[in-house]
Amino acid sequence: MAAHSSAQRHQTWVGAGALLIGAVMAWGATFISSDAGYAGIGPNAMPWLVSVVLMVCGTWLIWEARTGGYREMEAASGASAADWRAAAFVIAGVALNAALITVIGFVLACALCFGLAVRGLRMAEGRPGGNLRQSLLDGLTGLIIAAPVFWLFTKLLAINLPGLTTSGWL
């Protein structure tokens, strides 16, 4: 086999990562009840579907990488190295959402996640993260997005999500 370039090795690792995440999700799906719910589909259907699609994509990415690399890939744009400060905001948003969702409820946890993630993405573009006014606007935007999602799931679909109050509206 011919020597593979560094880019092909990295591309293989991306495919292997997708394959591994799919396998871990499939393993996790085995612990979710398969009792049929509405329309005969159980709560484990979506995790199984996502895990299978991830494993298929991971396998395809590995095949692409090992047979010549990503052929139609455009030249990389942006910075040559990761902006770890920007990534820290996005990671903090996701981690705080997971840690606080049962404490402050779905709506506020998702609004916080949105605000931090937007700040990080703005910084990754090379723009300022934002001042207090921008942070409040980002939080309000997060509330405007998260509240209808919460109501859709809890009121229309009767899916329990952690709320801040017992009224079911926050």
Helix ranges (DSSP H) in the chain: 6-29, 45-66, 84-124, 132-151
Does residue 79 register a pLDDT over 70? no
Is the CB of residue 114 less than 8 Å from the CB of residue 96?
no
132 phi and psi angles, rounded to 5 deg: -60, -40
Output the six-digit token pair for 99: 């840690």
Output the six-digit token pair for 151: 């109501």
Does residue 1 register a pLDDT over 50? no
Predicted local distance difference test score (pLDDT) of residue 125: 81
The pLDDT confidence band at residue 81, using thresholds 50, 70 and 90, is: confident
The pLDDT confidence band at residue 13, using thresholds 50, 70 and 90, is: very high
Output the six-digit token pair for 72: 């139609």
Alpha-carbon separation of residue 127 from 122, 123, 136 (angstroms): 6, 5, 17
Q: How many CA atoms lie within 13 A of 134 on its CB side?
A: 12
**Domain extents in the chain:** 6-66, 84-156
Predicted local distance difference test score (pLDDT) of residue 169: 57
Does residue 39 register a pLDDT over 70? no
The pLDDT confidence band at residue 112, using thresholds 50, 70 and 90, is: very high
